[in-house]
Amino acid sequence: MSSLGALATLPEELVRGCLFLSARTPRDLGNLRGASRGVLALARSTELSFHFTGRRVALDRFLPLAGAMRCARFRHGNVRSEELLVAAAAARAVVASKCFCLGDAVARDALAKQGLEALHIGDVLWLAPRAPTARGLRLLGLTNGTVSSALLGAVARGALPSLEVLFLGGCLVDGDGDPPPAPRTIAVVETTFLGAAAADVVARHVVGVETVDLAVASVAELGALRARCAATPEVLAAALEAVDGRKHAPLHAAALRDDAAACAALVACGADLLHRDHAGSTALVRAAERGAGAAVAALSAPSPFLGESLGMPNHRHEHPLYVAALKGRADVVARLLAVELAAAPAAAPSAVVAARADRDRFTPLHAAIVGRHAAVLRLLLGAVGRGAVLDAANRYGQTPLHLAARAGEPDLVAPLLEAGASAAERDERGATALDVCLEHIGRTRLRGRACLALLERSGAKAGKAAKPRRRRRPRAS
């Protein structure tokens, strides 16, 4: 939000109880300090959730502006331990995930804050040499951290008496310690991506009336957990960032098994559509690659992050539409095309498809031809019409027609020529599509003759002398 003062123009009933201020930079904090008196009065009368991401912010300068802060969430930031503890003193819930500057000391100190109802600090060491003393803590998240058996032992022996939900997704357990005579029972223990050895140690200390694995949880289980965390949904959203060894989150797992209902439920619980695995792939990229049409439909439903999700490539700079075309997933390509065009109604379809090229400037048209998927190619051509993407060249100067001629597939060459692709374009070597066909297929094969006939009928001409294909000499017997 560029100007927080604009909130003063909104009716109070639309803002009260659901105000969410995002302070991403120090400039945003300046806007917050400069907001109108009416907004500040409203801020003191409602519950706020402040979200800090990215750059460092000075909490001590702006916290006095909030009369009652429900939750302070830190994500992807270089927040300092003392800043988080200041937030813990002012808020009823503190959530920090992927803040790798935090250490185990801040975790121990936060567990001593008496006003906290929910605490989630992920990706840190939870060594906890002293027993936690926060008596009102209901939700505790240790996602993707290293948990000491000493902490689990303290919880098992009665520390944190109000604890109802314990999130342990993606955790490692340090040591076995001295287990209690009997494990403590709480309402919910979440064990997503927990290894067998770690799960065994946890079971000796804490057991849940319900044990939830978010990667395989049913819609009913997710709904019950969401209801239990309704007062602080940020804690559940942070727990959904648990990852396995390939950095797959629960949303990736649901997408790979094509479970549309689970995908929708996870997104409703706050799962991050933009989370990337070890290969840089979001859940949408993985679903497109697998051909999981139902999951793609669920993940491409309207949401505030849909545009970013559609445009977020993997480490090879392959977007969901490109991956689906390369793998020949015609139903997924049709769905993604419809969503992409609906998301950019003012853009030409040709420009939308061209924008999904990889780092070597291979467009989805190139990808469909590389994979030799004629049905996908016709689907893309039907969407782009006679747009400029028909003759878009990759880094080697090759248009889609060059690749189709190289493949020697009439089913690929014919649709391109019918759509209006130019046969006169030259690649970086100065070769036209006819040259490429002669060089790689020749006139001796049946399909080569068919491609040559199509190209010559379209008026294609040779741009350079075609190099004859080398033939292997027969080995002496």
Residue range 219-268, pLDDT digits in tens: 999 999 999 999 889 899 999 999 999 999 999 999 999 999 999 999 99
The radius of gyration computed from the CA coordinates of the chain, to the nearest angstrom, equals 28
Q: What is the pLDDT of residue 77?
A: 61
Q: What is the pLDDT of residue 443?
A: 53
Question: pLDDT category, 30, cuts 50, 70, 90?
Answer: very low
Contact 217, 190 (CB under 8 A): no
Following DSSP, what letter does each residue of 352-379 receive, concatenated?
A: HHHTT--TT---HHHHHHHTT-HHHHHH
Q: What is the pLDDT of residue 448?
A: 72
Q: What is the pLDDT of residue 265?
A: 97
How far is residue 326's CA from residue 364's CA, in Å, rounded to a whole number? 7
Mean pLDDT is highest, among 149-158, 172-181, 276-285, 299-308, for 276-285
Percent of the chain with pLDDT over 70: 79
Question: pLDDT category, 17, cuts 50, 70, 90?
Answer: very low
Q: What is the pLDDT of residue 137?
A: 93
Q: Which two tokens stand for residue 373?
A: 């998927």
Length of the chain: 477
Q: Which two tokens stand for residue 240?
A: 């959904």
Please give the DSSP secondary-structure letter assigned to residue 78: -
Name which of 53-67, 232-246, 430-444 the model is least confident about.
Answer: 53-67
pTM of the shown model:
0.84
Q: What is the pLDDT of residue 48?
A: 44
State pLDDT tens for residues 331-385. 999 999 999 999 988 889 999 999 999 999 999 999 999 999 999 999 999 999 8
32: left (phi over 0), alpha (psi -120 to 50) or beta: alpha
Q: What is the pLDDT of residue 213?
A: 96
Following DSSP, what letter does each residue of 204-240 receive, concatenated?
A: HHEEEEEEE-TTT--HHHHHHHHHHTTT-HHHHHHHT
What's the average model confidence in pLDDT over 137-152? Answer: 90
Q: What is the pLDDT of residue 450?
A: 85
Q: What is the pLDDT of residue 42?
A: 37
Question: What pairs with residue 121 in β-bridges?
Answer: 96
Give me the residue label for tokens 């997933």. Answer: 329
| pLDDT over threshold 50, residue 402 | yes
